[in-house]
Chains A and B, each alone.
Chain A
């Protein structure tokens, strides 16, 4: 399965096409295709995960640069294949054998041993003395030539390593549950079939990106998701707010995507005309890429991450993206789209690691962006009355955690938080969908309250999700957040404070959210009721996972880091820190304090209620938050408006003076030419010829018709005369 991983993204692509063509004719309007394809992909991803776990960890990661050197030598020798066989790429070869033999592990293992022997002539032998990294599992790569242009062969293929395997599993799982959830939630929607088609394509985009072996393919999946998010956020485009939100999401992420294009182009050029992710990482770590190019590329890529993963200051699209159907929000926030940015950093970690000196500690742009996002978004979550927007800002804040984790060198922690966050954020979004299914609204203050009695399953699962998000022991969020804090505590003390503060705020706003939704008196209309099985089923599954997912990487178990950590992290020398009980207790206390503060404020009615009415400072702070720091105002009015006005004026001027001038000039010129053509060429020459021909024929005909008397004898006389003339000529001149 690891070698044939391309099947996993291919399945949703296939289902997308089939749903588009046949969906409307099927009894389920196409949802059965989507559910079946993604379900099958989920099964295959589990198979892949199991195979990965079974794979022996016997690959000694060579120090960075050796790969590149060997590769360079191979290129110089004009024998690319030899190079691939010897080094990291030798899976190509080993894997082919696997296909025939069907016993992946033994053969791969043998090939590794052989590769090690061959490669270990000089550099590797010398390096072994100083480089004592633990052996890891060798990534399974498989590539075919996509196209070649200008002598550069562009490959398409899959690179399955721990990170890819885990993410493929996560994506398939969340997507499957979202599909199931949607069959009930979207029931009777006017674009039901298209919705499922887009959902499939969305999943496919993320899977293509996650399994990509080169940056070009990664870009392809990335943009595919951008398109699908546009389609799904604007699913109900009849309302202008929804289509505006879709446009905003598309354009905001696009702003960042410029960075992606620039960054990948720089890397392509500076890493020696290669799109291969492994080679780029290797080139970055070995110093083969110049310092300036590397920093520029990393900065550009960071822009892409800020756009896609909704980091401050481009996070504004994500809360607006709530305009889409709730299951889509769950998919976007939990498993796809926004985590793409985090994945990009984790994937090209070598580049970021070298460019920003992540190993050195202190302060670096990645961590700053992440840390700022954690606090800024968490503060915004306090003033939202829309349950989905609370969750949206919470996602932004949690994404900030992930980026911060990567920024402080806690690679595994960032990825692990991505994994656990997918579980409980997927759960929270689907549960909020279930709530809105019952009360037909998202407004916590107006239409909710007291729902715990009416919707016990939703309440229980939402509570579990909230506790997991708040980082309560021993739920999923606790473990991953603790790891991030642990990573930050080594050399990044500033971000440790940010993380702890974030934990407190997270717990507090989730308490507020739970209170407003499920406690107190019901403030809406009608009689809310529990949602059907198709909705509660995914909730229960995700709730179960939210409880246990964190244990995967609990101290003493550490399965997650063992699975995911691979060539890049080992080559970069990402450090591991021992579990610290004190820090774990501190983190938990912050979370509990947040919950306690929320409890005191809402349940016990303690604290400074109505502060905004008494204090001008508090009111202005509230206003600041309510208006989202006026960032939207800044973007739409000042930046867009500021640019739009002068640009429009300049464009108008250009339009009036230059373009119109050219157009008018061309028009006048054309008219003069046309007039000349008409008067001279057409009227005189052409018509003259035509008329002349006619007149000539007519005159000639009437002149000659005199001869044609109809008298046979006259004709005979002419004939005779002619003969006489010819005869005379014959006699005279011959």
Chain B
């Protein structure tokens, strides 16, 4: 097992996630893409932890999972409210912050 295999996996996941965040119109999918990015980071953390023979990477990964859970809760609540107001979760239509 080589470390760079995990790093390639993580980089791939990260790129997929970034693509999803920037390109998808569906709010839920954007949230899911954010999860991909976070998990890409998690993979990296665990991999580096194993490589350096310490548990710090896994502890960090656990923290990230917990925070990701909270984040997704808030995010889904926002998406729900947007849907309730607009009957759509198309993010291109949400431009309330336009200056």
Contact = CB atoms under 8 A, between A and B. Distances in A.
A614 to B, nearest CB: 119
A707 B22 CA distance: 16
A149 interface: no
Contact of B22 (A709, A710, A720): A720
B38 to A, nearest CB: 14
A605 interface: no
B21 A713 contact: yes
A715 to B, nearest CB: 8
A716 B99 contact: no
Contact of A711 (B18, B21, B95): B95
Interface string B53-95: 0000000000000000000000000000000000000011011
Contacts of B97: 708, 710, 712
Contacts of A720: 18, 22
Contacts of A292: none
A710 B21 contact: no
A716 B19 CA distance: 11
Contacts of A717: 22
A726 to B, nearest CB: 15
A713 B95 contact: no
Interface string A168-185: 000000000000000000
Contacts of B30: 713
A438 to B, nearest CB: 102
B83 to A, nearest CB: 15
B1 interface: no
A714 to B, nearest CB: 9
Given A720-B18, A720-B22, A713 B91 contact: yes
B98 A710 contact: yes
Interface in A272-307: none
A55 B6 CA distance: 127
Interface in A675-734: 704-705, 707-713, 716-717, 720
Contacts of A713: 21-23, 30, 91-92
A716 B95 contact: no
B91 A710 contact: no
Contact of A708 (B23, B92, B98): B98
A722 to B, nearest CB: 13
Contacts of A705: 99
B42 to A, nearest CB: 19
A716 to B, nearest CB: 6
A701 to B, nearest CB: 9
A708 B97 CA distance: 8
Q: How large is the interface on B (under 10, 10 to 19, 20 to 34, 35 or more residues)?
A: 10 to 19
A494 to B, nearest CB: 114
Contacts of B96: 710
Contacts of B98: 708-711
Contacts of A707: 99
Instruction: Tell me the interface secondary structure of chain A in the complex.
Output: helix
Contacts of A712: 91, 94, 97
A710 B18 contact: no
Interface in B24-67: 30
B78 to A, nearest CB: 10
Contacts of A708: 97-99
A507 B21 CA distance: 132
B92 A711 contact: yes
Contacts of A709: 95, 98
A681 B91 CA distance: 53
Nearest to A712: B91
Nearest to B34: A716
A612 B97 CA distance: 118
Nearest to B97: A710
B86 to A, nearest CB: 14
A709 B97 CA distance: 7
A306 B95 CA distance: 103
Nearest to A724: B18
A716 B22 contact: yes
Contacts of A704: 99
Contacts of B91: 711-713
Interface in A606-625: none
A205 B22 CA distance: 102
Nearest to B94: A712
A707 B92 CA distance: 15
Nearest to B99: A708
Given A720-B18, A720-B22, A710 B92 contact: no
A711 B27 CA distance: 12
A322 to B, nearest CB: 94
Nearest to B21: A716
Nearest to B98: A710
A709 B91 CA distance: 12
Nearest to A714: B22
A705 B97 CA distance: 11
A713 B18 CA distance: 10
Nearest to B96: A710
Nearest to A707: B99
Interface string A96-134: 000000000000000000000000000000000000000
A712 B22 CA distance: 9
A718 to B, nearest CB: 10
B98 to A, nearest CB: 3
* Residue in A710, A713, A717 whose Cβ sees the most chain B Cβ within 10 Å: A713
A719 to B, nearest CB: 10
Nearest to B92: A711
A711 B90 CA distance: 11
Q: Of B21, B97, B99, which is in contact with the most chain A CB atoms at under 10 Å from its CB? A: B99
27 contacts: A704-B99, A705-B99, A707-B99, A708-B97, A708-B98, A708-B99, A709-B95, A709-B98, A710-B94, A710-B96, A710-B97, A710-B98, A710-B99, A711-B91, A711-B94, A711-B98, A712-B91, A712-B94, A712-B97, A713-B21, A713-B22, A713-B23, A713-B30, A713-B91, A716-B21, A720-B18, A720-B22
Given A711-B98, A712-B94, 8 more contacts: A707-B99, A710-B99, A711-B91, A713-B21, A713-B23, A713-B91, A716-B21, A716-B22
The 9 closest A-B pairs by CB, nearest first: A710-B98, A710-B95, A708-B99, A710-B97, A705-B99, A717-B22, A716-B21, A713-B22, A711-B95
